[in-house]
Chains A and B, each alone.
Chain A
């Protein structure tokens, strides 16, 4: 079961089964202590960050850089998908994929937040022309 962990040096928050051995923010070794969800939320509320569509478009480019997939070069498609994701975040709380429907099972629906774990999906895995279901990410060709 995943828990919340806080770096006692820099207050970095981690959500996972176990604490990181080295804090990625301050590089301190063995620095995490388990904390409550309330404390984790409290620490994270210190800084309010926003990621608008343009910032998210940049973020997914960084995410895909140097990997076996890239962001679809079809700008119109990407813009439509971003519009859907941000509408879903506004209407349903999270940036759910516009090409699938939530089941109203929160844990299960976490798998639909973009970027999802599409690498093991039938539309991507073992396919030369693999892509995530919505087509936001597509597998690079060998010459790319």
Chain B
């Protein structure tokens, strides 16, 4: 698994909004990030659930999507942010 992960849902509007920003970051910044869709892929869902405690602690007590997780530093956020904030997280 890549160091950076985006957990997302196919029918989640927040995820749809963030996806072009993630793609832009990949293209412009050369950032590697793995996109894991969780509602239609049980393995991806289990991967997200394996980080349950970490994610719920920072996401209103819930497993919200999108969640952006650095699996090395465990730095994470969920929801929509501006492009600059996304890049900042990815490069921290």
Q: Which residue numbers of A lie inside 8 Å of B, CB to CB?
A: 77, 80-81, 83-85, 87-88, 91-92, 98-104, 112, 121-123, 133-135
A99-B49 in contact (CB<8A)? no
Is A84 touching B9 in the complex (CB atoms < 8 A)?
yes
Q: Closest CB-CB distance, B61 to chain A, in whole Å?
A: 9
- How many residues on chain B are close to A (CB under 8 Å)? 21
CB distance from B38 to the nearest CB of A (A): 5
Q: Which of A80, A81, A102, A133 is in CB contact (< 8 Å) with B64? A: A133
Q: How far is the CA of A139 from the CA of B72 in the complex (A)?
A: 38
**B39/A135 in contact, CB under 8 A:** no
Interface: B16 (CB within 8 A): yes
Partner of B9, one of A98, A121, A135: A98
Q: Of all chain B residues, which has the CB nearest A111?
A: B62
Question: Roughly how many angstroms separate A87 CA and B10 CA in the complex, as a whole number?
Answer: 10
Beta-carbon contact of B11 and A87 below 8 Å: yes
| Contact residue among A87, A91, A92, A121 (Cβ-Cβ distance under 8 Å from B60) | A121
**If A87-B39, A121-B60, A133-B62 touch, does A103 touch B52 (CB 8 Å cutoff)?**
yes
